[in-house]
Structure 1
Amino acid sequence: MLAALHLIFPPRCIGCGGAVTDDFGLCAACWRETDFISGLVCDKCGVPLPGKNEGRAELCDECLTIARPWDRGRAAILYRDTGRRLVLALKHGDRLDLVPPLGAWLARAAEPILLPDMLVAPVPLHRWRLLKRRYNQAALLSGALARAAGLDHCPDLLARPRPTPSQEGRGREARFANMADAIQVARRRQGQIMGRPVLIVDDVMTSGATLAAAADACLAAGAASVSVAVLARVAKEG
């Protein structure tokens, strides 16, 4: 059945649309331009680190200098080249067909930090932005991760009661100031979070300001712990 279907609709690269052998795959060129994160990584933000993974937690320079309110974090890819194009296609290009493969990448990356009874929740969008975009890409990714890991998913755990200007083009301090008290746990979900570990999911991490606001809200509402997982991590070149 699948072979016959492929004769009519051949598998296409999710990055460029070229021919590939498997559904939801990348062609050789797009694969080379996708920086999957593996090996030794920062235990807080998931950015790759030099050296060999010896089984102990290591932190990047940024996470050594910035107090992160969450415990652990992971990222699947670096936010550049094909990875950046895929993130933007999902976020702004209505490429919902990307959710299964990108969600699978995210689930694999997050596996080392998952805990039993963990509650998975996305970074929320303000209702006006959600109305304009029609979907929350973070919620689609968090749902895929939760299904793959067999964990509870709560897409409306967090709320964004006030609209915040875009973080794009802002420096680190401005990003954190922009997100101060911008996220809270939905009142009807207060009982669901109490005493449980929470995994917050987003598509991209740059400074970590949005994730920090979400983590602070979860801890204030009684979460036992908070970890974060993002599809893509912005990393400094060189």
Structure 2
Amino acid sequence: MTVSALQAGLMRGLADLFSLCVPTWCVLCGTPDSPVCVECRTRIRPDPMVRMLPVGPNQRLPVVVAGTYAEELRAVILAYKDGGRADTVGALVPLLAHSLAVVLSQTSQRGGEPGILCVPIPSTTRGERERGFRHVDVLLARALRSLARAHPAHPAHRESQPRLGRVLRNQAAARRSDQVGLGQGGRRRNLRNTLTAAPSVFGRHIIIVDDVVTSGATLQEANRALVLRGARVIAAVALANTAKHHRS
């Protein structure tokens, strides 16, 4: 038996032991021993769509989302984000990876160029404290690893691989009110000048990453902060969209 086979067997054994000690169940149908069972995963497959978001005079940012924020997809996102079920992230990774792949397939990168930075929208201080982790960062990191496994780069071109870049910061997270219940104008006013970008983004190509797009105000604020630092934002991606959209 090879070392890799031994490691795989050990991991399966640990997973079985963990399931005995910490029982889990599908958040959609209640089937035991799976955060989102195989059958339910077929109900949240990627159904990509594109929304063109205004970000300036005669400027539109393409936003690629994996599906509509409703029914099963909404339930899994809520379980992951606010329901204490971080274990459901594995069911969401393929959706975000698919949206990223759509954007990357239309972006030309030459070997040796700095890779595209995939920039997660930062959690508020309150949100991170309540969840205990940065939910978009975790999801994005796993989606990028999934893409790297599916499309491994030649060693000479590894620097051009897309990477996670935690370059946005909340300047006013402590005094920012909750977005829930606010209209489009209220969301924009609530977020105005709340994000700042690191100087290191100057000249870099950026994909902004979020979980759910509602009015688009968060993406607009992130775009403003990044462009102000000299970055080129080429697109945004998200798991789901709640507003009207155009299919790709």
Q: Could you say whether these structures have the same fold, taking a TM-score greater than 0.5 normalized by the shorter chain as the test?
A: yes
More helix by share: 2
Q: Which residue of 2 aligns with 1:176?
A: 188
Tell me the TM-score normalised to structure 2 length: 0.71
Q: How does 1:76-225 map to 2 (within 5 A)?
A: 76-114=66-104, 115=107, 116=109, 117-150=115-148, 151-155=162-166, 157-163=167-173, 164-185=176-197, 189-191=198-200, 193-225=201-233
Give the distance between the partners of 2:239 and 2:38, measured in 1 at CA. 20
Cα 1:154–1:7 change in 2 (3 A) is closer
Q: How does 1:18-33 map to 2 (within 5 A)?
A: 18=31, 26-28=37-39, 31-32=42-43
Is the CA contact (8 Å cut-off) linking 1:15 and 1:30 kept in structure 2? no
Give the distance between the partners of 1:130 and 1:5, measured in 2 at CA. 29
Is the CA contact (8 Å cut-off) linking 1:104 and 1:144 kept in structure 2? no
Give the distance between the partners of 2:45 and 2:145, measured in 1 at CA. 25
Shift of 1:130: 2.1
Cα 1:27–1:152 change in 2 (3 A) is closer
Give the distance between the partners of 1:132 and 1:5, measured in 2 at CA. 28
Cα 1:196–1:7 change in 2 (3 A) is closer
Of structures 1 and 2, the larger Rg is shown by 2
Consecutive unaligned residues of structure 2, counting only runs of 5 or more, are 1-8, 110-114, 149-161
Shift of 1:105: 1.4
Tell me the TM-score normalised to structure 1 length: 0.74
More strand by share: 2
Shift of 1:30: 6.7
Is the CA contact (8 Å cut-off) linking 2:64 and 2:99 kept in structure 1? yes
Is the CA contact (8 Å cut-off) linking 2:213 and 2:240 kept in structure 1? yes
How many residue pairs were aligned? 207
Q: Which residue of 2 aligns with 1:15?
A: 28
